[in-house]
Amino acid sequence: MTKSETACRVCSSNQLVSILDLGATPLANSLVAEIDLGQIEPTYPLELMFCEACSLVQLKHIVSPEMLFRDYVYFSSFSDALLQHARASAESLIKKHRLESDSFVVEIASNDGYMLKNFLAAGIPSLGIEPARNIAKTAQQNGVPTLNEFFTIELAAQLAAEGKQADVILANNVMAHVPDINGVMAGIKKLLKPGGVLVMETPYLKSMIDGLEFDTIYHEHVFCYSLTALERLLLRHGLIASDVESLSIHGGSLRVTAGGAQTVKQNSAVVSLLAAESAAGLKSRNYYLDFARRVEKLGQDVKKLLGELKVSGNKIAAYGASAKGSTFLNYFGIGGETLDFVVDRSPYKQGKFTPGMHLPIFAPERLLEARPDYVLLLTWNFADEILEQQSKFRADGGRFIIPIPELRIV
C-alpha cells in the first residue's frame, strides 16, 4: 500500500532533507461510514522532504494511486468559487490561444467536467481523463467526454496514434498528485501537437511555507512545487515555462504555461519569479527549517483558543469535511472532545464521519438547527464564499474561527 523513497522522485538525488513530519495519519479523503466506526482505521506515515539537488518538495512515503483515486469524494462543482474560476480561466485560454472548432483540448484529472464544459459550450472539442470511476461517470452523464483512466505515457501514445494530439493540455491541481511525474510529463510531451501548450495550475510552495498552510500536506499531494522545481522538471522533458501567473485560489497557486523548449521562450514574468525565488532562498534548506516550529505554535494557539471557548460553555462545530481539514484535525488532535460535528455542502460526504477523529458530517443547514456559538473553518481557502453563504448564521450571532494564514475570529 505504501512505498518509501530515499531518493528524489524526479532527479534521483539522495540529498533529501526532512521539513515536517506529521506522523501516521489516515487518508485525508477516506470518510468513514457509520457501520465501520468500530473497525481499525489504517494510518500511513506523512513526512515532507526537500531535495537539495533540484529543489523539489515531496513526500517520503507514497500511498498507491489506485487506492487513493479510483473512488473519490471530491467533486469540484460543489464550490461556486471554483466554478467561477474555471469559467474565467477557460474564457481567457480560448482567447489567448485562439481556440476554435478545429482545436482540441485535453484535461488530465478532469474531475466532474467542471472545467471542460466551458470549452464544449464554446464549440471546442474536448476530452477529459479522470481515474475516479464515480466522478468520471458523473462527467459523462453531464455530457463531457471522459476516459476513466489514469494518464500515462502509454495512454498518451495511444491517443496520439488515434490522431488526438492536443492544442492545449490542462492539468489543474493534479501535478501534485502524481508519483510518476516523469512518466506523466513524458506523456504530455507526446500528446501535445507541435506548437501546443501545457497549462497547469498547482498550489504554490512559497504560499504554503510563508502562509503556514501545512494542511495542504496529505497523502494525495506527493509534491508541492516552486517555479524553480517546475522549471527543472519541464526541462528534463524538452519543455520550458513560457508564462507564469500567481493566483489566489487554494491559498495561493501558480498557473504555468509551457511548450516545446525549441519553440517557446520564457517571458519576463517567468524570469522575474525565478529570480525572486532564488533571492528568497527557496533553493536552500535554510528557508524551510523553522516551518515545523511555526506549525507547532499554530497548533498550540488553536487548541488554547478552542479550549478556552469550550470551558466558557460555548458549542463549537467545524465547516468543511475536506482533505485539508483531515490533516488539520488529526495532526493537532482535535476531535469530539472539542467539536460537536462538521458540515459540508457535498451530499457525498454527508452522513459519514471524518477520518481519524470520526466527527459526524451534516449539511450546512445543521448550523442553523444546532446553533453552535463558533465554527472552525477548515476550508479556509474558500472563506469569502462560505462566509457569504452563511450570512444568516452569522447575523444570528454565529462566529467563524479562521485558523490559516493567521488565527482570527470573524
pLDDT in tens, 353-404: 999 999 999 999 999 999 999 999 999 999 999 999 999 999 999 999 999 9
- The shares of helix, strand and coil residues in the chain, as percent rounded to the nearest 5, are 40, 25, 40
57 phi-psi bin (left φ>0, alpha ψ -120 to 50, beta other): beta
pLDDT at 72 over 60: no
Radius of gyration of the chain (CA): 21
What is the rounded CA–CA span in Å between residue 370 and residue 356? 23
What is the rounded CA–CA span in Å between residue 110 and residue 127? 9
Q: In what order do the strands lie in the sheet with 361-362?
A: 361-362, 342-343, 316-319, 374-377, 399-402, 408-409
What is the per-residue pLDDT across 294-343, written as a single tens digit (0 to 9) for each?
Answer: 999 999 999 999 999 999 999 999 999 999 999 999 999 999 999 999 99
pLDDT at 24 over 90: yes
What is the fold, at CATH topology level, of the domain defined by 69-288? Rossmann fold (3.40.50)
Whole-number average pLDDT of the chain: 92
Chain centre distance of CA 261: 27
User: Which ranges in the chain are annotated with CATH 3.40.50.150?
Assistant: 69-288
Q: Which of 15-19, 66-70, 211-215, 313-317 has the lowest mean pLDDT?
A: 66-70
pLDDT of residue 65: 64
- DSSP 8-state assignment for residue 360: B
User: Which ranges in the chain are annotated with CATH 3.40.50.720?
Assistant: 293-409
Cell numbers placing 95:
482567447
Nearest to 164 by CA among 148, 181, 147: 147
pLDDT of residue 70: 56
pTM exceeds 0.85, yes or no: yes
What is the rounded CA–CA span in Å between residue 231 and residue 239? 9
- Express as a percent the part of the chain with pLDDT over 70: 96
What is the fold, at CATH topology level, of the domain defined by 293-409? Rossmann fold (3.40.50)
